[in-house]
Structure formats: C-alpha cells, structure tokens
Amino acid sequence: MALSVAAVAAGCASDERSDAARATTAAKTTTADTKAGGSSTTTTAAGIPGQIPGMAPVIDPADVYSETAAGKPSAAPADAKSYVYVPDNDDGQVWVIDQATYEVVGRHPVGKLVQHVVPSHDMKTLYASASGSSQLVPFDPVTGEPGTPIPVDAPYNLYFTPDGHSAIVMAERRNRMDFYDATTWQRTRSVEVPCTGKGATTGGINHADWSADGTYFIATCEFSGRLIKVDTLTGQIQGTLDLDTGDMPQDCRVAPDGTTFLVADMMAGGVHVVDGPSFRKVGFIPTGDGAHGIHPSRDATVAYVSNRGHSDRTGATGGGTISVIDFATLTVVGTWTIPGGGSPDMGGVSADGSKLWLSGRYDDVVYVFDTTTGQMIKKIPVGKGPHGLAAFPQPGRYSLGHTGNDR
C-alpha cells in the first residue's frame, strides 16, 4: 500500500482556518488506532465510536442504511414530486419522468456531458453535473424545474461530507477532488489524486462512499484500476490500493456494517470486497459483464448490481442483467435478465422499495424493475446516453451524494 499525495490548499485563509478547526475538534473526540486505516476507539456522546463532529448520529451500528428504509421520514420537501431525473450524457439534457405514470413530463437542456443527478446533503435540491460545461444545474424537487447554473470545474460526480460542510466535486479529467463550501459554492481546497499510473494519464476519479463513522471515504480510479482512501476532514490521501491489471472499478458502496466496501468492476465482471479499516481486498463476487452500479435495497438485505456490458454504440456485448447480492453472505442470490439484452447503468430504488430504476446507457432508455419478482415492468425511451439517474424523493436524513447515497 503506497501512501502519497498531500492536499493542495486552494481556498482563502479563513476557509483553511475553518477546516483546521474542524480537524482539531475531530482530534479531540477520536483516538486513532495504530492499525492500518486509522479506525477510532473513543466513544462520542451520541452515535458510534469516533464519528466526525457535526454528523448525524448513527442510529443502528449494524445497519448504516437503517434510516433509509421504506416508510422512514425523508429530509426532502414534503411536496416534492415523485419524479425520476435522467441525465442524458450525449445530448446534454435532463429528462424528467413521473414515477406513477411512467410518462416523460419534462426535458431540460443543462450543458455538455451531463453525468449524474445528485440530491444535496439536505435533500432540498437536486444537482445535474454537466462536466463538459463545468457547471452544476440545480433542480427544485417541488416543481421539477431547473434553476440558475452554478460554475464548478469539470464536475463528473458530486458528493457531500457527512457533516454537510463540504461538497466534493470529482473532477475526473483534472485528476482532482475539489472541495467546495456547500452553501456558497466557493472552492476551499483541491486535492490532486494519485489515480494515474499503469499507462493511464487520466485516472478517472469518480465514485465513492463513506465509513460508518464518516472519518474516511474510499473512491475509485476507473482508468488506472486503483482505489484511494481519503481522510474526510483534511482531504489527505491515506492510502492507495491497486487492483489486478486491466481492472476498471466503477461504483463504490459501503455494506450495512459500515466497514466493508463493495466496488463494481466493469472489466473484471464482478464486485471487489474491500475491508475499509485495513484497506485490503478480501474477496471478489462474480456478477456479469460490465458490472457498474450498486444499489442497496430499502431493507438493506441485498444490493442490486447492474451489469452494463463494456462496449460502446458499435455493438453491445455482454451485460443486460442485474445481479442480486446478499449482504449477509456476500454471494449472488438472484439474477434478473433484460429481455433482448440491454445496458443497465446507474439509478436508484423507489421510496417504497418496490421498483429499481436504471438508465440504459447504450440503448437510450430507462428500465424499471419489480424488486419482488425481478421482472422488467417498463422500458421508457429517453435521450442519448442516459447515465446517473435519480429517483426522488428518497427516505433518509441526509445525502452523501451520487444518485442517492443516503443515510
């Protein structure tokens, strides 16, 4: 495991002092373990041992998703429309679909290479990340309409620290993670990521998820086949983990225990299992060609892995399935097949847990699956290259970003 790359300060002095104060507070409330990964041992007044200051307490240490179950309250506006927001990467639009009727109710230009639609930390706003236009376009979930674009550099994906203080822009083509004040959208820090190597000049920093205590997150470097572990409060790189030659890690989601991470790998055709505290690969779960997105069920018993295939529009090969992984055994317990094949990518589970919505990246459609039967119940035509769609509203107290990494 190589340790490298310190955070590069890019904000004003007041922002640096603010971040330093947060880090100092964290140091007073946690004691670092001497084992690799730096897990903490001191119990805070609420939540679990060592969780970062300002983060909502973890209610169930055995299930970080306990507050995102069907029927749980949502921080989203009570009158938020039950819509699905579909970013079409190739045509620069967000298509809006009514979850009840499956009808397209809106089409909105947002900029070049729109990648994901991301709920804000407080779940009051949705952001479309138009990386080619270097802007985020906010959507009001009450009206389903876009607002004034926010200039940020190269936002491939967007995340939020568990305390809600910072937004983290995955600036993929810059080989950076940019930290912004989540309220003012002023950049406070840029972190150069060690994602290049093994012949890759653009590392592809893109997906991430957090430990239960919020002290660190693990992110994927798509084009170099590498994972990185990052300190939440300082942005410092705690370690790197190289996968096998030719691997291409995609989505990253923590298991309910808050320490085991699942990493979908498009070229390996399955999911790597990584122990967070030691930052070591401890297993691999074969799923299917082009394993891409990981979507926990509402009861947090299983994860739905979308196997997209790994080709482009010259002809899809492989993929077209959804693998159901049991969290308790970390084994595949079911496989759903799209009739005639397909390219399921990113998406999310409906608020009641009954449906899984996924974009069809190479087929210009959105798929809707019944999570009880595994049957595809709808295929909805949309624009070109649909990518990280968000089904909204979602249960939960806050969002960590992506298309709905909620807690």
Mean pLDDT throughout 158-181?
Answer: 97
* 3-state DSSP assignment of residue 26: helix
Render pLDDT for 194-232 as a digit per residue (tens, 0 to 9). 998 666 566 789 999 999 999 999 999 999 999 999 999
Residue 52 DSSP symbol: P
**pLDDT tens digits for range 92-114:** 999 999 999 999 999 999 999 99
Enter the tokens of residue 284: 């691999």
Residue 406 lies in a domain: no
Counting the structural domains of the chain, the total is 1
pLDDT at position 317, please?
60
User: What is the C-alpha separation between 378 and 338, in angstroms, rounded?
Assistant: 11
Residue 397 within any structural domain of the chain: no
In a domain, 54, yes or no: no
Whether the per-residue pLDDT at 126 is higher than 90: the answer is yes
Per-residue pLDDT of 42-69, as tens digits, reads: 333 468 989 999 999 999 999 999 999 9
Mean pLDDT value of segment 73-93:
97
Assess if residue 399 is contained within a domain: no
In a domain, 34, yes or no: no
Output the CA angle 403-389-154, nearest 5 degrees: 70
State residue 32's pLDDT score: 30
Domain span including residue 105: 8-29+61-392
Q: Is the pLDDT of residue 186 over 50?
A: yes
pLDDT at 405 over 90: yes
Residue-wise pLDDT tens digits, 241-278: 999 999 999 999 999 999 999 999 999 999 999 999 99
CATH of the domain at 199: 2.130.10.10
Domain-located, residue 41: no
- The position carrying tokens 């985020």 is 136
Is pLDDT above 70 for 26? no
Whether residue 261 lies inside any domain: the answer is yes
pLDDT at position 335 is 97
Contact 123, 75 (CB under 8 A): yes
- Summarised one tens digit per residue, pLDDT across range 369-404 is 999 999 999 999 999 999 999 999 999 999 999 999
More confident residue, 117 or 34: 117
| Alpha carbon distance 62, 28 (integer Å) | 25
pTM, to two decimals:
0.88
In a domain, 35, yes or no: no
pLDDT number for residue 200: 57
